Amino acid sequence: MITVTFDYPPSTNNLWRNGRSSSGRPTTYLSKQYAAWKQAAEWTAKAAARANGRIEGKYFIEIAAKRPDRRKRDLDNIIKPISDALVHGGIIEDDSKCEFIHCRWDDAVPSGVRVSVEAYPETHSKQGDDLGEWISLADAVGLALKNIGRGE
């Protein structure tokens, strides 16, 4: 397992900006806030990858975030920038190989976001481990949603 702590990332809503190129064409570019966060996060991830190696293939991720202030925030808006930092920092090879994400608010995190990444086991039916319990819950929820979609 590789655990790394990042500063709290900008919201997905604030990652990109629209503008015009020098020729007047519409263009999209990284916001200054995101560019600065991304550079720092990638250096942090690179240091963790050098110390712990890279996770190849499927993986799961746990994200524990401390609320940065009292404003309302959508927890899911921090997943994309974190996943991208893990790829560009070399901890994971491709964020499309993520099999499971557990993301939560956690006041026990001193500041920012604590991210734990672990290779996804080939078999996840081990009894008594936390991952098996979470995956069993996720499978049950997925099955329930499929059944609801069929009107069952």
Same domain, yes or no, for 38 and 101? yes
Same domain, yes or no, for 114 and 133? no
Per-residue pLDDT, 123: 53
- Tracing tokens 């500063």 back to the chain, one arrives at 7
Per-residue pLDDT of the chain (152 residues; tens, 9 = 90+): 999 999 999 877 777 777 788 888 888 778 888 889 999 999 999 999 999 999 999 999 999 999 988 888 888 889 999 999 999 999 999 999 999 999 999 999 999 999 999 998 865 444 445 555 555 555 555 555 555 554 44
Same domain, yes or no, for 84 and 140? no
Per-residue pLDDT, 90: 95
Q: Which domain holds residue 131?
A: 124-152
Same domain, yes or no, for 36 and 61? yes
The CATH code of the domain that includes 42 is: 3.30.1330.70
Number of structural domains (the chain) is 2
- For the entire predicted model, the pTM comes to 0.73
Same domain, yes or no, for 6 and 23? yes
Amino acid letter at 112? G
Same domain, yes or no, for 131 and 115? no
Per-residue pLDDT, 40: 96
Which H, E and C letters describe the chain, residue by residue? CEEEEECCCCCHHHCEEEEECCCCCEEEEECHHHHHHHHHHHHHHHHHHHHHCCECCCEEEEEEECCCCCCCCCHHHHHHHHHHHHHHCCCECCHHHEEEEEEEECCCCCCCEEEEEEECCCCCCCCCCHHHHHHHHHHHHHHHHHHHHCCC
